[in-house]
């Protein structure tokens, strides 16, 4: 893997036949009680946490996979639907030298507000007019259809299942727990774009049993994280996450009974 371009809001790496670009949608911060201990109460050990004014730092990212066949955007950021410091995806794409019209397909890791909202622009129109297919896990199609802002996107929906390839070289892997149809995407068999498997790296690699209050099924989220962290270590996968620090791309290492995240140097 080689870094081929780097800007304030983006980083592009080469991976076999494909390139992967991290696109920052901005950064926000959430209350510390979003982290939950295995007993279900708020997690109290914040010694290693990454805090901003006493809150947990939360970067928001999307990833663009580009190959000869097309340009697949995985997640779309928060658009204008959540915190005011987010919604910078367009700016990040401009920095990375990618036009909105170049995106040929979109795939969502899941249908939460900070992942789907960038599908529409501030005026409510399609943000990626040439993305003829929008892949959403079968389990989350209903949630997607229930979102009034997503009406312009409905006719482009394609149900996504484990093993599907929204672009050649990319395959979907079930990663449920944070949401029922949460998906990860393995790129070129080497990089796992894993969505919301980790929300606060500074705590959850060292304490992988710590969950996020928005994990819809806490026990399943914990189990999926354990499986994917183990697989990433065993297979030597690079991981890329919607809320990981640094450039959002790095490696998972074992550290005693837990793990450590080694971000790609910027």
Contact between 215 and Zn ion by CB under 5 A: the answer reads no
CB-wise, 72 or 86, nearer to Zn ion? 86
CB-wise, 69 or 147, nearer to Zn ion? 147
Minimum CB distance to Zn ion, residue 129 (Å): 25
Distance (Å, whole) CA 65 – CA 164:
15
| Per-position x/- string for 108-127, each x denoting binding to Zn ion as judged by CB under 5 A, each - no binding | ------x-------------
CB-wise, 10 or 28, nearer to Zn ion? 28
CB-wise, 114 or 139, nearer to Zn ion? 114
Q: Say whether 235 sits in a helix, a strand or coil.
A: helix
Distance (Å, whole) CA 131 – CA 224:
30
With CB under 5 A as the contact rule, the residue among 89, 196, 211, 224 that binds Zn ion is 196
Cβ of 143: how many Cβ atoms within 10 Å? 18
CB-wise, 141 or 214, nearer to Zn ion? 214
Minimum CB distance to Zn ion, residue 73 (Å): 15
Cβ of 221: how many Cβ atoms within 10 Å? 24
Minimum CB distance to Zn ion, residue 117 (Å): 11
According to DSSP, the β-strands at 18-30 and 10-15 are antiparallel
Annotate 164-189 with DSSP letters as a single string: --SBTTEEEEE--SSSTT-EEEEETT
Q: With the CA atoms of 212, 213, 219 and 224 taken in that order, what torsion angle do they form, in degrees rounded to the nearest 10?
A: -30
Minimum CB distance to Zn ion, residue 181 (Å): 14
**Contact set with Zn ion (CB under 5 A):** 114, 196, 242
């Amino acid at each position: 893997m080689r870094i081929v371009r780097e800007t304030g809001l983006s980083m592009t790496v080469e991976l076999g036949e494909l390139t992967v670009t991290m696109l920052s949608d901005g950064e926000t911060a959430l209350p510390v009680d979003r982290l939950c201990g295995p007993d279900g109460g708020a997690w109290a050990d914040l010694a290693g946490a990454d805090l901003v004014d006493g809150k947990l730092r939360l970067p928001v990212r999307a990833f663009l996979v580009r190959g000869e066949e097309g340009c697949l955007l995985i997640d779309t950021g928060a658009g204008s639907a959540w915190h005011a410091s987010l919604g910078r995806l367009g700016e990040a794409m401009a920095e990375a030298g990618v036009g909105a019209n170049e995106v040929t397909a979109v795939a969502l890791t899941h249908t939460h507000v900070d992942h789907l909202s960038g599908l529409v622009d501030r005026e409510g129109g399609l943000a990626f007019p040439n993305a003829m297919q929008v892949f959403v896990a079968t389990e989350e199609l209903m949630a997607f259809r229930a979102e009034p802002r997503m009406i312009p996107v409905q006719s482009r929906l394609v149900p996504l299942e484990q093993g599907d390839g929204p672009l050649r070289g990319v395959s979907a892997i079930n990663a449920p727990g944070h949401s029922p149809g949460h998906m990860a995407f393995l790129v070129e068999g080497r990089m796992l774009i894993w969505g919301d498997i980790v929300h606060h790296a500074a705590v959850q690699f060292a304490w992988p049993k710590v969950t996020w209050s928005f994990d819809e099924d806490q026990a399943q989220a914990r189990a999926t994280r354990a499986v994917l962290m183990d697989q990433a270590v065993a297979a030597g996968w690079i991981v890329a996450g919607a809320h990981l620090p640094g450039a959002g791309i790095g490696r998972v290492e074992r550290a005693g009974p837990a793990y450590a995240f080694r971000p790609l140097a910027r």
